Structure 1
């Protein structure tokens, strides 16, 4: 009689980080600036170091678009990045992603609250991060500091990419009212530098995997 060995299945590697990329599509963003954001995101994901770290960490990625008080949309739902094919498909969706809203105001607090709720779908990920980009402060909705406090209580990190045209007003606003303790802001000097700044920002956010 043949002896059958029962070999236990190896446990799947855990998700290291869930990263929610939150893109500003308020009325201050024209069609060209929207495309700078989507194409910049797709290009950042093609970076060799970023791609290797995302796959090695089996990260979960999602993209939301946000604008006014009732204008938040999970445009690309949570996707587990287990292979180069997964990442390429995600980047292609980001590049082709239609704009969710036009001619709406800027409700940063509601955007953050919507973003926080999305992490219920990825409870197994060790780190949870919102990466919010924008070119202006809130002019509608709730105080974003309320959502920031909720994020800190939940152990969710908020970082920001400030798109500046003059001065550092948006960078300072994000520092004061948006990012969590231990979070950070990176500044793009206009939309043409968005892709480069986003690459640097994602590298920093996943540095625990890379190094």
Structure 2
């Protein structure tokens, strides 16, 4: 009989240990899982690339962003920073990070600023969306919302149609927001800048519950645009009614 009781005790101990392991492996709940997907294709020259990065760093270190993070039910979000170009170039520049206080946010911003800047040819928004969507799998977080924030200065010219990638991501419960950079400068090889890029993003790129875009009228205006956009994404507030998911142009 004593042996039977000992065996029962061992079985209970194993079950308790198993429950503990399962709890330890549980995803961390957050208010938002956010992929910042940033265009570093050939149309973005070194100066424009610098302005983009400085825009993200300035926005993330703004007290309004930090207050928005703390204002959610959990008071924390998860974020990763991805740079992309053609269909063969997508790079996690800063991995998934839990952001909940000033130090964590500023450390994330510093990692963006200090990472080596790489670039490649062509523009594949579809590959950027596909790559970003996979990053939500087994990332250690469980967000009430999952969002891909796509910024860029051109249309999809490599890879599969961007609408296909958008629709698959939306079907998986992911929202895609856009930050088109409306730049009238010719690209480095002399080609004309895209016409009606914000309309292109509206029709082909953004999608999912509450999807919206915030156009920036130039790379110089990028910091203002990303600050406005991040505040909307982190707070979960809808874009202005009657705009079809499109907010006003960010400018200086």
Change (3 A) 1:169 1:45: same
Give yes or no for the alignment of 1:189 onto 2:207: no
Name the counterpart of 1:89: 107
Deviations 1:95-146 (A, max 9, x none): 22222323x1011111100000001114511111010100000111111111
User: Which of the two has higher C-alpha Rg?
Assistant: 2
Deviations 1:80-103 (A, max 9, x none): 01221111100111122222323x
Tell me which moved more, 184-193 or 90-99.
90-99
Structure 2 gaps of 5+ residues are: 1-26, 185-193, 238-252
Name the counterpart of 1:44: 59
Q: Give the C-alpha shift of residue 148 in structure 1.
A: 0.9
Match of 1:134 among 114, 132, 152: 152
Deviations 1:35-89 (A, max 9, x none): 1111110000111121122245310011000000110011100000122111110
Separation of aligned partners in 2, 1:54 and 1:35: 25
- Is residue 126–residue 161 contact of structure 2 (8 Å, CA) maintained in 1? yes
Structure 1 gaps of 5+ residues are: 1-11
Separation of aligned partners in 2, 1:194 and 1:97: 19
Tell me which moved more, 91-100 or 33-42.
91-100
- Is residue 56–residue 109 contact of structure 2 (8 Å, CA) maintained in 1? yes
> TM-score, normalised on structure 1?
0.88
Tell me which moved more, 152-161 or 179-188.
179-188
Q: Could you say what the CA RMSD is over the residues aligned between the two structures, in angstroms?
A: 1.9
- Is residue 37–residue 148 contact of structure 2 (8 Å, CA) maintained in 1? yes
Aligned residues: 198
Separation of aligned partners in 1, 2:152 and 2:46: 14
RCO comparison, higher one (Cα < 8 Å, 6+): 1
Deviating 4+ runs (over 6 angstroms): none
- Is residue 18–residue 122 contact of structure 1 (8 Å, CA) maintained in 2? no
Separation of aligned partners in 2, 1:199 and 1:145: 26
Give yes or no for the alignment of 1:22 onto 2:50: no
